[in-house]
Amino acid sequence: MNKIFIYIFLILIALSSVYFYTLHRTEIPSNIRCSFKDVITDTKEIIVPGCFDIFNPGVVAYEDGYLMLAKVKKNDIISKIKRKLTKNYPNKLSFIKLDAEFNPIIINGNAICTEHSTFGGDPRLIKIGDDIYCLYFDRVIKENKNVIRMFVCKLIECEGRFELIEKKELKFKEAEKYYNLGLTSNSVEKNWTPFVFNGKLYLIYLISPHVIIEPNLDNGECKEIVANKNEPIWNYGMASGGTPAIEYSDGYLSFFHTHAIGLKPFSFFNKERYKIGQGVYIFGAYMFSKQYPFNIIRSTEFPLTGKSLYNGRRKIIFPTSLIVNDDNIYLLYGKDDAKIFISKIDVLKLKEQLKMK
């Protein structure tokens, strides 16, 4: 008799697991799934020993390899409970050295790692001359409310440790007109795309319209220098910032992301075949002119993908770094808010998808 109860108990656990996996799984809508264009040749996960739920990396060339700064969430039960109970539980940004093959440099079983505590994340690293700057969002209090704002810091290495110094909030006073148009939100400012022109830092505030702002690195004040016409860059939703824009061919190249509507599969307690669920993050690429006024010259018409890219329970691909070496293009991205992957882009296939505007 006891064995029967044990078997029934195990069957119930198995059925519950299947149900909850289905309940929390997101499906890609058919119109997006059927439009994917494969431009990826090779993909690998960047696994950092001792770091759990590490994602959304900023990466730049450094010494003989690369330097990566990524968002880290502790995966233990206590940390998960704290994140659920409070909005003021900090994340970690971790600096990790990578070798020339994008593998973490390991010494005595541990990655070379420096932690920086923050409430924000999604760092982008960019070089200006010999200096490295970091842009990331963080939480601040404005009029007794928690809001998200963008910050810029300078990165230094001191006695083997990396530090973010001279932190300044980026203040764009002209943003209000874009709040009023519903293109951005006064409560959340993030994903500004950095690029370097004539040795100075510029930021893409919006992709459509293509709004370029120039930050003052001494005080954080930003001024708008151009706002090109407001035309959708593609038909799959609003394009938002992704990787820094890097000089490539006859322009600047950047990969962007779009937060599309995901679908929940059928559940046992819901008669509908699908219901709207968590978002799906899809991505594309675009290029803009190397000269003022930085007009968009090419963009992908369809979402990009690669083999097994969206095979997880969640469907989040968030491009945050771009490395161009000779004729090779490498895209680094966060996957499902839990992992870091790097993919080599098939240059010929990408060029086929980048259509003239």
DSSP letter, residue 236 = S
Mean pLDDT in residue range 122-143: 94
Q: What are phi and psi of 235, to 5 degrees?
A: -105, 25
In terms of Cβ atoms closer than 10 Å to its own Cβ (0-12, 13-18, 19+), residue 79 is middle
Beta strand 37-38 pairing with 304-305 = parallel
Phi/psi for 160 (5° steps) reads 85, -5
- Is residue 267 pLDDT above 70, yes or no? no
Where does the chain have alpha helices with state H? 2-23, 30-33, 77-85, 176-180, 347-353
Residues 189-202: tens digit of each pLDDT? 999 999 999 999 99
**∠ CA(188), CA(197), CA(154), 5° rounding?**
55
Per-residue confidence band for 352, with pLDDT thresholds at 50, 70 and 90: very high
Beta-sheet pairing, 200-206 with 106-107: unpaired
Count of residues in the chain? 357
**Cα–Cα distances in Å, from 309 out to 279, 312, 337?**
16, 8, 14
Rounded distance, CA 175 to CA 192, Å? 12
Is the pLDDT at 73 greater than 90? The verdict is no
pLDDT for residue 129: 94
pLDDT at 273: 46
DSSP assignment of 115-171 equals EEEES-EEEEEEEETTEEEEEEEEEEEETTEEEEEEEEEEEEEETTEEEEEEEEE-E
Average the pLDDT over each of 16-30, 149-163, 305-319 and give the range with the smallest value.
16-30
Helix or strand or coil: residue 41? Answer: strand
Question: Coil, strand, or helix at residue 31?
Answer: helix
32 pLDDT more than 60? yes
| Residue 84: per-residue pLDDT | 61
SS3 240: strand
pLDDT value, residue 279: 76
| Contacts of 271 by beta carbon, 8 Å cutoff, 6+ apart | none
pLDDT grade, residue 97 (50/70/90)? very high
What confidence score (pLDDT) does residue 76 get?
A: 60
- With a cut of 70, say whether residue 11 has pLDDT above it: no
Exposed/middle/buried for residue 76 (C-beta within 10 Å: 0-12, 13-18, 19+):
exposed
Note whether 294 and 286 are within 8 A (CB): no
CB atoms within 10 A of CB 80: 14
Instruction: Indicate the average pLDDT of the chain.
Output: 86
pLDDT band for position 22 (cuts 50, 70, 90)? very low
CA distance 195 to 217: 14
Residues 6+ apart with CB under 8 A from 113: 48, 50, 51, 94, 95, 96
User: Which domains occur in the chain, in start order?
Assistant: 27-356 (2.115.10.20)
83-105 average pLDDT score: 80
